[in-house]
Structure formats: C-alpha cells, structure tokens
C-alpha cells in the first residue's frame, strides 16, 4: 500500500472512533484508548517518516501540519484526562474532531495530490511499507510511548474552574 493510501485509511479509522466517542456508543474509556493509540501512532509515522520524506513538496504546508499535530496532541491529552460524565468531555471531543477534520482535509485535498504528482509510485510504496511497520510498532507501545508527557492544563481550564467556583458561591448565597 502506498503512503498516502495508508494515511487515508488511518484517517477513516480515527474518524470512526471519534464518531463512536461522540455518540457514546460503546464504553468511552475503551474507545478513547483506541483513539489515543491510533492517533498517536498515526502522528508518529507522519512526523517521523512521511513529512521528512516529502518536505520538499510543500514545505509551508508541512510546517503547518506539525503545528496542527501539536494542537491535536494537546486536545487529545486534555480529552484523556476528562471524565466522560463531565460537561467538558463532549466539548473536548467536538474540539478534537474539528481540529482533525481541518488537518485531514488539508492533507487529502492539498498535500496528498501534490505528493502523488511529485513522488514516484515506487517510492510511495516503499515509504508506505516502512510507515505501516512503524505504525504497528507505535500502536503496540501506545500513545504514552509516542507522545511526551505534560501540557494538559491551560489558562482556559483555570478560568473555567474559577467560573465554576463563582457559580457555586453564588448558588450558596442564593439558598442561604
């Protein structure tokens, strides 16, 4: 399988997992774990193998893709520390889905056609084979092994927590 076809197939798997998570069909923790591992492995092969191999095709779009991966990683980590019963869980699923939809659209509509025009099918096949092997390895080790620790709390979290405290105080003063 060539590199772009492999990535497109992985996009569909990730989209399906997000749809399951969004609809709450199944056990959220198991779906979230599968999403995290698939997404972590997918980003790892793009960052470690695909982007370096095709960087000359569209350097600006590659830099943007790395930045989008950074935002997706933060969104994923925030989602992973959120209890599915919290109101923020659904919002975080939606935010992650939107970030990924934009990224996938750019890759599939802009980057992949450029890559397929600029790089031989033989090289895309060779790259796809290496990416598939690396994906399996990264999937086995899991998301935590392919993403660095940290970046789970933001200023928005602190503001949301402060707002909740103010609302709780206001509720107490009203009932007192």
Total domains, the chain: 1
Q: What's the pLDDT tens digit per position in 23-64?
A: 876 688 899 999 999 999 999 999 999 999 999 999 999 999
Q: What is the mean pLDDT of the chain?
A: 89
Burial class of residue 44 in the structure, from the number of CB atoms within 10 Å of its CB (0-12 exposed, 13-18 middle, 19+ buried): buried
Domain that holds residue 137: 3-175
Q: What's the pLDDT tens digit per position in 105-123?
A: 999 999 999 999 999 999 9
Note the pLDDT of residue 111. 97
Reported pTM: 0.85
Note the pLDDT of residue 79. 94
Instruction: Kindly report the CATH number assigned to the domain that includes residue 131.
Output: 1.20.120
Residue 168 has pLDDT above 90, yes or no: no
């Amino acid at each position: 399988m060539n590199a772009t076809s492999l990535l497109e197939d992985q996009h569909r798997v990730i989209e399906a997992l997000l749809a399951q998570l969004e609809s709450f069909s199944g056990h959220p923790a198991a779906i979230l774990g599968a999403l995290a591992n698939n997404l972590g492995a997918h980003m790892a092969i793009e960052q470690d193998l695909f982007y370096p191999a095709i960087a000359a095709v569209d350097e600006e779009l590659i830099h943007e893709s790395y930045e989008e991966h950074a935002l997706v990683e933060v969104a994923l980590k925030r989602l992973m520390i959120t209890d599915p019963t919290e109101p923020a869980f659904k919002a975080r699923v939606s935010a992650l889905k939107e970030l990924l939809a934009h990224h996938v659209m750019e890759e599939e509509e802009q980057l992949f056609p450029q890559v397929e025009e600029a790089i031989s099918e033989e090289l895309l096949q060779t790259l796809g084979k290496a990416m598939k092997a690396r994906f399996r390895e990264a999937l086995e080790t899991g998301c935590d092994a392919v993403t660095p620790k940290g970046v789970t709390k933001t200023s928005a979290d602190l503001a949301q927590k402060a707002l909740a405290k103010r609302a709780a105080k206001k509720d107490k003063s009203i009932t007192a």
